[in-house]
């Protein structure tokens, strides 16, 4: 690594849906010496779930599942392109698929990617949030998502199967892939208020296009508990996996304490 002028510590590839603007926004806040981020976009064909539901009448849950099926087919090409940059680690800038099917579905999905990338390290939304919660010793959680109900169900299933008590989920049910990034701060804060409770140890935000890095560090101080945005969890997981152990202030307790 010392021979690389710009990336002597880590070159982290990041898979991002073509519709996503939240991941790169968050990555730009983590300019670390010797670390470079290398996004690779994959095509999202089915972008507007509400319009598709109106057109076909199949229901938002069914449309969302079809959206994920189409997305899966696009991943291998994006992985091949970013691996060609001689990256040292791969991070997924998409999250719903990593929770799908609970623990078994997550394992199958991750194994499919590992079969393609070989010995490269891998950071996923499900794995990164799990490790983040374990770092804090949290057992009772609440979750915010931009997904329709079927997405919330899969998130609840995954966390439940790995031993967390999910006390509440606020699903924002955004109408399209791009609309996730248009969610207002007021809506996010209202979702936090709805799921927070005395018996909740930590709050997790899913959906990589829903950036919470600007508001969650302040809300952590207000609520006196960890609030974990999925992008920050993935960034933390990828950096630590690459041996980059910098303590970063102002971006939340996770990066300050672990």
Q: Looking at the structure, do residues 57 and 99 belong to the same domain, yes or no?
A: yes
Q: What is the CATH number of the domain that holds 85?
A: 3.40.50.12500
4: in domain:
no
Other residues' Cβ atoms within 10 Å of the Cβ of residue 33? 10
Q: Looking at the structure, do residues 237 and 222 belong to the same domain, yes or no?
A: no
111: in domain:
yes
Report the sign of the C-alpha dihedral through residues 135, 137, 138, 139, in that order: positive
Q: Looking at the structure, do residues 139 and 123 belong to the same domain, yes or no?
A: no
8 A C-beta contact, residue 256 and residue 249: yes
Q: Looking at the structure, do residues 14 and 122 belong to the same domain, yes or no?
A: yes
Task: Specify the number of domains making up the chain.
Answer: 2
CB burial of residue 214 (10 Å; 0-12, 13-18, 19+): middle
Q: Looking at the structure, do residues 122 and 16 belong to the same domain, yes or no?
A: yes
Q: Looking at the structure, do residues 207 and 238 belong to the same domain, yes or no?
A: no
Structural domain span for residue 145? 135-228
88: in domain:
yes
pLDDT at 203: 98
Q: Looking at the structure, do residues 236 and 221 belong to the same domain, yes or no?
A: no
Q: Looking at the structure, do residues 190 and 117 belong to the same domain, yes or no?
A: no
Q: Looking at the structure, do residues 159 and 242 belong to the same domain, yes or no?
A: no
User: b/e map of 53-91 (b: 16 or more CB within 10 Å)?
Assistant: beeeeeebbbbbbbbbeebeebbeebbeebbeeebbbbb
Q: Looking at the structure, do residues 112 and 78 belong to the same domain, yes or no?
A: yes
5: in domain:
no
156: in domain:
yes
| Average pLDDT per 10 consecutive residues for the chain, totaling 258 residues | 74 98 97 96 95 94 94 96 97 96 97 97 98 98 97 98 98 97 97 98 98 97 98 98 96 98
pTM above 0.75, yes or no: yes
83: in domain:
yes
242: in domain:
yes
pLDDT at 6: 73
Q: In what order do the strands lie in the sheet with 227-229?
A: 165-171, 140-145, 202-205, 227-229
List strand residue ranges (DSSP E) for 78-233, in order. 89-92, 121-123, 140-145, 165-171, 202-205, 227-229
Alpha helices in the chain (DSSP H): 22-27, 49-56, 60-83, 96-99, 102-117, 125-136, 149-161, 185-195, 216-223, 230-241, 253-257
Q: Which among 250, 198, 191, 248 is positioned nearest to 224, based on CA atoms? A: 198
Q: Looking at the structure, do residues 253 and 170 belong to the same domain, yes or no?
A: no
pLDDT at 82: 98
3: in domain:
no
Q: How many CA atoms lie within 13 A of 202 on its CB side?
A: 25
Other residues' Cβ atoms within 10 Å of the Cβ of residue 132? 25
- Which helix (DSSP H) or strand (DSSP E) does residue 35 occupy? strand 35-42
């Amino acid at each position: 690594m010392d021979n690389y002028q710009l990336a002597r510590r880590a070159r982290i590839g990041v898979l991002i849906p073509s519709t996503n603007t939240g991941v790169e926004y968050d990555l730009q806040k983590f300019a670390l010496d010797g670390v470079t981020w290398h996004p690779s976009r994959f095509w999202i064909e089915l972008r507007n779930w509400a319009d598709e539901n109106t057109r076909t009448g199949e229901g938002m849950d069914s449309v969302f599942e079809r959206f994920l099926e189409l997305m899966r087919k696009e991943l291998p090409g994006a992985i091949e392109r970013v691996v060609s940059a001689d990256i040292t680690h791969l991070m997924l800038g998409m999250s719903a698929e990593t929770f799908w099917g609970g623990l078994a579905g997550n394992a199958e999905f991750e194994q499919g990617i590992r079969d393609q990338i070989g010995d490269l390290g891998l950071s996923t939304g499900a794995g990164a949030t799990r490790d983040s919660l374990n770092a804090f010793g949290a057992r009772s959680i609440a979750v915010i998502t931009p997904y329709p109900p079927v997405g919330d169900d899969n998130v609840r299933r995954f966390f439940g199967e790995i031993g967390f008590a999910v006390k509440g989920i606020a699903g924002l049910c955004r109408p399209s892939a791009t609309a996730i990034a248009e969610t207002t701060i007021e809506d996010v804060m209202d979702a936090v208020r709805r799921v927070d409770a005395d018996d909740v140890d930590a709050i997790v935000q899913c959906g990589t296009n829903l950036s919470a890095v600007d508001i969650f560090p302040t809300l952590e101080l207000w609520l006196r508990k960890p609030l974990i945005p999925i992008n920050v969890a993935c960034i933390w997981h990828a950096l630590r996996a690459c041996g980059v152990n910098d303590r970063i202030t102002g971006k939340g307790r996770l990066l300050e304490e672990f």
